[in-house]
Structure 1
Amino acid sequence: MRDRIKVKFTTENTVAVVRTRVALQQQVRAWKAAGETVGFVPTMGALHSGHISLVEKAKENAGRTITSLFVNPAQFAPGEDFGTYPRQEDDDLALLSAAGCDLVYLPTVAEIYPDGSVTDVRVNAMSDLLDGIYRPHFFYGVATVVARLFLHVQPDTAVFGEKDYQQLQIIRRMVRDLGFPINIIGGETKRDGDGLAQSSRNLYLAADERRAAGALFAALHRASVRLSLGALPGDVSAEAEAHLMRAGFRSVDYIALVDPGTLALLPADAPMPGGAARLLGAAWLGRTRLIDNISVTR
């Protein structure tokens, strides 16, 4: 017997919730049979207004919108924060209901990774740059879970935030290489008043760290202006790192100017060529690792 769609209603939450692939695809088939398109926003929960902006963009590009809440164990290395990653299902469902999301997919680990599963997805080269140097497991876990979620949801469009720019480009490459019939849309980074990119991990920041955290975007913004005027990328990166250390950051993993499509590093000792590039940064503030990026045009 097919799973019935379970809809969870409270006075604050009227969004449909499904926890199995069978129930999910039953609803998706019904929508598509009625001629509707499906937009998808995969998340790990602990939602904030940045996530909700992605849901709103999905709603602009499809008749129905699905959001997944799944903390993916495959993208955490031993010693990382899988066990402590914030989980707040009730709050997330209330936010998604208020945003007009049609359905929330809440699978178990066993639903995504059936017993005995040994198949992974690897987007080589792009996954081994930048964040891939410091978290070599990460993008292989991301590509694997997103591919599986795409097979479960079968969306027409999917929206990913530009804050995780390397992830967005890797997903675009995976979709192109594997032939998923899905339009990948990038959602603009949502920021707090001081420029800090919104992230679920910002919850880890102590009060004094939060006051210093806006320095990351400030450093990238100043660097982008310098690069657009012809400064050498190597000099600009060093200046940005020094700015962050003065602001109280513990260490800087990288400040890197890259080709916006391939993520290949641009030469550090020559002015960036005309056109567009992307400046990405990752740095530690206390025990919290912050990432951000900004477009650069010359």
Structure 2
Amino acid sequence: MLIFNNKTDLKAQLAKLRETNSGVGFVPTMGALHNGHLSLLKESVKHNSHTVISIFVNPTQFNNPEDLEKYPRTLETDVDKIKTVSEDIIVFAPSVKEMYDDNITSANFSFDGLENQMEGRFRPGHFDGVGTIVKKLFEIVEPDNAYFGEKDFQQLQIVKKMVEKNNMPVNVVGCPILREENGLAMSSRNQRLSEEDKTKAALIYKTLTEARQLFDSHSVEYITEYVNNIFKAHPEFEMEYFEVAEEDTLLPASIKENKKYRAFIAVFLSNIRLIDNISLN
């Protein structure tokens, strides 16, 4: 398995591989890999001659310094997990200096309003940080296809918009959410949950599935009130937002039209922030 810490060496290796006109798939991650990440790798390996995974905890997308400090960093374990998918996957694990030199700041992006909804309201500057690092990584790896999980559905739409607005020749592929047996969406942050909290966190997906069942026959206002009341009855959770939004624009839905909708949620449990979403159509 090839592991690169230097972008110049990685680019040189990928240039050699491209001499045979073979396709490159790319899975950008912040490490602390779980089966959700591995499912993205499997998808890339299936559809591309070569696959690159980046492991980089990006400082510019954290608006909470404590969250950045506590984010799990498990490179050795991550590499072992990657090998279970394929020994031929290329790992790019740069330092902060390699990616940002001495200028650890975000560029300013416009994502046509996608950045102002949900996560954007509660995490100022987050999507500028996401756009900055994904653009840098795309320029280094130059992938044909890039794979993102739908758990971060807003991020997926943001990346698609960035690619479109910057005319980048990358096909961005959204992949289904992988869940624990109790329905909890797989996330690197789950590593910080106690076993008791993981059991409690099943309420998130359970409530989303109930919202989906209600969607056909009830108003958005009714569903929103229903969800808020469930979490009010479980004070161990702190609700940040629940939103029914249109998939393409991410604008909050008030009346239902002939469009695709999703329910989005963010809650804190034991001071750990958990997000999830579900298609309602």
Cross-structure match for 1:186: 174
Amino acid at match of 2:273: R
Alpha-carbon RMSD: 1.4
| Partner-residue secondary structure (3-state), 2:262 | strand
Relative to 1, partners in 2 of residues 1:78 and 1:226: Cα closer, same or farther, differing over 3 Å? closer
Equivalences for 1:231-246 in 2 at 5 Å? Answer: 231-246=218-233
| Aligned counterpart for 1:294 among listed residues 262, 271, 278 | 278
Does structure 1 retain, via aligned residues, the 8 Å contact 2:59–2:104? Answer: no
User: C-alpha distance in 1, partners of 2:104/2:60?
Assistant: 12
The amino acid that maps onto 1:132 is: G
CA distance in 2, matches of 1:119, 1:95: 31
Distance verdict in 2 for CA 1:78–1:296, change over 3 Å? closer
Q: Is 1:90 the counterpart of 2:90 in the alignment?
A: no
Q: Deviation at 1:254?
A: 1.2
Match for residue 76 of structure 1?
62
1:1-298 alignment, distance < 5 Å: 15-100=1-86, 101-116=88-103, 120-124=107-111, 125-227=113-215, 229-267=216-254, 270=255, 272-297=256-281
Q: Secondary structure at the match of 2:227?
A: helix
SS at 1:45's partner residue?
coil
Aligned pair count? 279
Please, what TM-score do these two structures have when normalized by structure 2?
0.95
**Is the Cα–Cα contact under 8 Å of residues 249 and 283 in structure 1 kept in the other structure?**
no
Over the matched positions of the two proteins, sequence identity in percent amounts to 33
Counterparts of 2:105 and 2:54, CA distance in 1: 22
Helix, strand or coil at the partner of 1:82: helix
Contact 1:257–1:280 (CA<8 Å) still a contact in 2? yes
In 2, the alpha carbon distance for the partners of 1:242 and 1:204 equals 26
Q: Secondary structure at the match of 1:186?
A: strand
Q: By how many angstroms is 1:211 displaced?
A: 1.2
Unaligned stretches of 5+ residues in structure 1: 1-14
- Moved >3 Å (runs of 4+): 116-119
User: What residue identity is the alignment partner of 1:20?
Assistant: N
Aligned partner of 1:286: which letter?
S
